[in-house]
Chains A and B, each alone.
Chain A
């Protein structure tokens, strides 16, 4: 029995035990769930450190054989899956521990941890998948567990709606994903990642004219899961879930699954598909960044920021730089999880107040949250030497070399990112308290602040401790070992132009935010550009547009179905059968005369006919 199997199934075991046995003992449930993910983390760490994953290998059992379809259930162990598993279990562990403090008074405490463990299991399943079918199964499991977690407070109507919305948007993307898998299987007859990749170099024109279609359809899966335009609408609404869930699912892991999948099957995409991927990513990043500028809910700002950064990652994959994309994914997981947990800490302290204009003056009252949030903000903006700087620089460098238009977009997004994060920070943390709640706030318990500190350390150091190098060596095996952390500290400046533009963008965004929001009592932006502000606040009317489109389609379909039901089913089938039966009944009723003699006569006549037929024929 390999340790990695234990690592995968331990969270599932925890989820099952909590659901069936320990749901009445909240501390035991939490201990089980946290213990499971911690042990998983230690196992992954041990394998990574011992170098057991070098070269990459698979553990697989045959799971399904139907005719030519052979599906393995296995574990793919290489540096890509190991790094991703480290992120999932590492950041996940911290979030589990944090949840212990955050959810303390919630009546659904045990249920929460059961869902959390189920989610961890599903996510690890995606990470370790060896083939498309297995990945698709866990892909759906992630969808289900995120549905459960977003709708955790299902008594609240908005939460239940958000859960449904997230699930449906995901399903929409997954439909394309499944279609892509089916076409791929039809043409190639093999769904295993490593054998596909091995065979790809030899007969890459195997897909022929379907290559682009397959690439784009598989990308559809990532569009749904990673909330890319045009399916981005579910992520902001998913903020209805508990805040640690937002940190786990909607920052560090689930939404990253789409990017991970793209990197895993990167060899599949031809230049046209990559172009589509890059532009979708670019559009998502700028759209979300613009919307984030005028949101007032702290979690929604972070949600749109996540969307924007996911757009970055997807765009980078499209620009043929999966290593940079995975690097940004990893650092983003650190600082975005930290941002969400920090926001959760603030929300917890302010008794579930989420409007940033009712916060303020938190520096003295919540020092740990304040400083860690600051570190994460700087990392997100890409200020050197925080981790975000290094990964974002690689993203910008990739765009710089490949596509000038996308480079301009990326720089603009970088400026916007700094702008809205500075706005959030100035308004929510600095200045004077704007409400009673923020006046009487106090620091969260240490079970919540310790994970913040650990994540802050990762957010600060994550850029130059060799994470980027691991991915580079995975995708470009010829790259030599990096030359130590001092060298990687100055690595971005080996290409001065993107780094310089990135820093300029940060300066520009920061200056803009200082000018508008330093000590601002209320948002001055709507006064300056009223209609633009309103459009942004309404998120460019995407929800309304979709609602309208869905309403029109739905109404048309409903009218068609109704007409079919009324005229074909009701008119022809039901009325027809009923009418025939009634007509025959009425005709036969005339025979029922009530006269005994008639009956006797008919009886004799009938008997005569039968005799005649039997005897003389």
Chain B
């Protein structure tokens, strides 16, 4: 078997992205949607790292550090919101969170 090329990495990245997107669109539990969001970020990170490796420079990897940082911050805020919401409403299902609807 030869070494995997750029297209293999990108295929995995796209698979990961579609998986995450499906989770965000189809799942009902806020926690699951949240984890799917992380999958989306990771798919982007994977693609960037692959580009970095095959272009022979570090630009993509630098961007990945930023993504990791943003993801960490997002987790901190997002989880806190979910916990607060759960304490208030005793639920984390999106069907129950429709009070903004007209």
User: Residues on A close to B: CB < 8 A?
Assistant: 589, 592-597, 600-601, 604
Encode B1-29 as 1/0 by CB contact (under 8 A) with A.
00000000000000000000100111110
Interface contact A604-B21, CB-CB below 8 Å = yes
B25 x A597 contact (CB < 8 A): yes
- How far apart are the CA atoms of A594 and B25 in the complex, in Å? 14
Q: Is B68 an interface residue (CB 8 A)?
A: no
Chain A neighbourhood of B94, CB < 8 A:
595-597
A592 with B26, Cβ < 8 A, contacts A597-B94, A604-B21 known: no
B76 interfacial contact with A, CB 8 Å: no
Complex CA distance for A601 and B26, rounded to whole angstroms? 9
Taking the nearest CB of chain A, how far is it from the CB of B10, in angstroms?
A: 15
**Is B77 part of the contact surface with A, judged by Cβ < 8 Å?**
no
CB-nearest residue of chain B to A596: B94
**In chain B between 70 and 100, which residues have their CB closer than 8 angstroms to a CB of chain A?**
94-95, 97-100
Chain B residue, CB-CB nearest to A604:
B21
Encoded as 1 (CB less than 8 Å from any A CB) or 0, chain B from 51 to 76 comes to 00000000000000000000000000
Query: Does A596 contact B33, Cβ atoms closer than 8 Å?
Result: yes
> Could you jot down 9 A-B contacts, CB within 8 Å?
A594-B98, A595-B94, A596-B33, A596-B94, A596-B97, A597-B24, A597-B94, A600-B24, A601-B25
Q: Is the CB of A595 within 8 A of B25?
A: no
Dominant secondary structure of chain A at its interface with chain B: helix
Are A594 and B24 neighbours in the complex by a CB distance under 8 Å?
A: no
**Could you tell me the distance in whole angstroms from the C-beta of B97 to the nearest C-beta in chain A?**
7
A600 proximity list for chain B (CB < 8 A): 24-25, 33
* Residue among A592, A593, A600, A604 having the largest count of chain B Cβ atoms under 10 Å: A600
Q: Is the Cβ of A589 less than 8 Å from the Cβ of B24?
A: no
Interface centre among A593, A595, A596 (most CB of B within 10 A): A596
CB closest residue in chain B, given A598: B25
Residues of B within 8 A of A592 (CB): 100-102
Spell out B's residues near A (CB within 8 Å): 21, 24-28, 33, 94-95, 97-102
Report the minimum CB–CB distance from B74 to chain A (whole Å). Answer: 15
Q: Which of B26, B27, B28, B100 contacts A594 (CB 8 A)?
A: B100
Please give, as numbers and ranges, the residues of chain B lying within 8 Å of A594 by CB-CB distance: 97-101
Least CB distance, A607 to chain B, in whole angstroms: 11
Chain A residue contacts of B95, Cβ below 8 A: 595
Do A589 and B102 have beta carbons less than 8 Å apart?
A: yes
Q: Contact: B98 with A595, CB < 8 Å? A: yes
**Considering residues A593, A594, A601, which has the most beta carbons from chain B within 10 angstroms of its beta carbon?**
A594
CB neighbours of B21 from chain A (8 A): 604
In the complex formed, the residue of A with least CB distance to B100 is: A594
Interface centre among B24, B25, B27 (most CB of A within 10 A): B25
Q: Given B26, B99, B100, B101, which contacts A597 in the complex, CB threshold below 8 Å?
A: B26
Cβ contacts under 8 Å, B25 to chain A:
597, 600-601, 604
Q: Taking the nearest CB of chain B, how far is it from the CB of A32, in angstroms?
A: 74
How far is B62's CA from A31's CA once the two chains are assembled, in angstroms?
Answer: 94
For residue A461, give the distance in angstroms from its CB to the closest CB of chain B. 95
Nearest residue (CB) in A for B99 is A594
Chain A nearest CB: distance from B91 CB in Å?
A: 13
Q: Which residue of chain A has the shortest Cβ distance to B94 in the bound complex?
A: A596
The 7 residue pairs across chains A and B that have the minimum distance between CB atoms: A594-B101, A594-B98, A596-B94, A601-B25, A600-B24, A597-B25, A600-B25
CA distance A595 to B26 in the complex (A): 11
Residue of A nearest to B97 (CB): A596
Closest to B36 in A: A600
How many Å lie between the Cα of A600 and that of B100 in the bound state? 16
Q: Chain B residue with minimal CB distance to A605?
A: B25
A593's partner among B26, B33, B101 (CB-CB below 8 A) is: B101
Q: Which residues of B contact A601 (CB under 8 A)?
A: 25
Closest beta carbon of chain A to B86's beta carbon, Å: 15
Alpha-carbon gap, A5 to B98, bound state (A): 85
Q: Which residues does chain A contribute within 8 Å of B27, judged by CB atoms?
A: 597
Least Cβ distance of B30 to chain A in Å? 8
Taken together as a complex, chains A and B put the C-alpha atoms of A550 and B101 apart, in Å, by 59
CA distance A600 to B94 in the complex (A): 12
Q: How far is the CA of A595 from the CA of B102 in the complex (A)?
A: 12
- Once bound together, how far apart are the Cα atoms of A601 and B99, in whole Å? 20
- For the complex, give the distance between the alpha carbons of A415 and B33 in Å: 111
Q: How far is the CB of A137 from chain B (nearest CB, A)?
A: 64
Q: Cβ of B28: which chain A residues have Cβ within 8 Å of it?
A: 597
CB distance from B50 to the nearest CB of A (A): 19
A558, chain B: closest CB distance, angstroms: 44
Give the distance in Å from the alpha carbon of A601 to the alpha carbon of B22 in the complex: 9
Q: A562 to nearest B CB, angstroms?
A: 38
Give the complex CA separation of A451 and B21 in angstroms: 106
Q: Which B-chain residue is minimally distant from A594 (CB atoms)?
A: B101
Complex CA gap A66/B24 in Å reads 74
Complex CA distance for A596 and B94, rounded to whole angstroms: 6
List A contacts of B99 (CB < 8 A).
594
Quote the shortest CB–CB distance from B89 to chain A (angstroms).
14
- Please, how many angstroms separate the alpha-carbon atoms of A302 and B21 in the complex? 100
Q: Once the chains are docked, how many angstroms separate the CA of A594 from the CA of B94?
A: 9
Alpha-carbon distance between A593 and B27 when the two chains are bound, in angstroms: 16
Residue of A nearest to B37 (CB): A600
Q: List 14 additional contacts besides A594-B100, A597-B94; criterion CB under 8 Å.
A: A589-B102, A594-B101, A595-B94, A595-B95, A595-B98, A596-B33, A596-B97, A597-B28, A600-B24, A600-B25, A600-B33, A601-B25, A604-B21, A604-B24
> Shortest beta-carbon distance, B87 to chain A, in Å?
19
CB distance from B69 to the nearest CB of A (A): 23
Expressed in whole angstroms, the minimum distance between the Cβ of B20 and any Cβ of chain A is 11
Q: Can you name the residue of chain A whose Cβ is closest to the Cβ of B28? A: A597
Q: In angstroms, how far is the closest chain B Cβ from the Cβ of A519?
A: 94
Distance in Å: Cβ of A4 to nearest Cβ of chain B: 81
Closest chain A residue, CB of each to CB of B27: A597
- A191 to B101, alpha carbons, bound, how many Å? 75
Whole-angstrom distance between the alpha carbons of A525 and B92 in the complex?
104
Q: In the assembly, what is the distance between CA of A597 and CA of B100, in Å? A: 14
User: Which residue of chain B has the shortest Cβ distance to A601 in the bound complex?
Assistant: B25
- In the complex, what distance in Å separates the CA atom of A108 from the CA atom of B33? 85
Docked Cα-Cα span, A64 to B55, in Å, equals: 79
